[in-house]
Amino acid sequence: MYTLIYSSQIETYLGDIDISSLVYAARQSNADHKITGILLFLNDRFIQVLEGEKQDVKKLYDVIRQDRRHKNLKVLLEKDIDKRQFDGWNLGFKYIRDDELDNYPLLKSVVENETTVNDESGLPDEIYNSLIDFKSEPECSEAFY
């Protein structure tokens, strides 16, 4: 198993219907390719965890890199993992509104580019662990409307 976490800025405005459609389509595609993970939407950014076979995760990330809705993509972590952390989640989703961002200081620092991510800092694993914590939030696994 393999995981990749990335962040990106949104190129153009996405409304609730756009995001709902994106999440629905991604869940379908992820199920077809045995990809699991979670997508966070905060401010004008996405942070996403992808899990699966290495070639499948990398192939999906290449598709995301070519998607015109994303800009300034940054890989936060890539590594082999023993097991899926989001097993059974084709795509968890959480919309973190601006007034909620202070509840997630590590993610806020990544979103606001105050944090430089590199392997020596230990930060990639901190980010990974903080994203795994979203598994305990039941609304993350439900459909977004």
Evaluate whether 132 touches 85 at the Cβ level (below 8 Å). yes
Which ranges constitute the DSSP H helices of 8-120?
16-33, 54-66, 105-111
Encoded tokens for 83: 């097991």
Q: What is the pLDDT of residues 72-115, one digit of tens each?
A: 888 888 999 999 999 888 898 988 888 888 888 888 877 776 55
Query: Rounded distance, CA 141 to CA 138, Å?
Result: 6
Place of tokens 């620092």: 109
Q: What is the pLDDT of residues 26-74, one digit of tens each?
A: 888 889 999 999 999 887 888 999 999 999 999 999 999 998 888 888 8
User: 139 falls in which pLDDT band (50, 70, 90)?
Assistant: low
> Cα 39 to the chain's mean position, in Å?
4
pTM of the model: 0.85
Encoded tokens for 80: 């082999």
Query: Rounded distance, CA 53 to CA 6, Å?
Result: 17
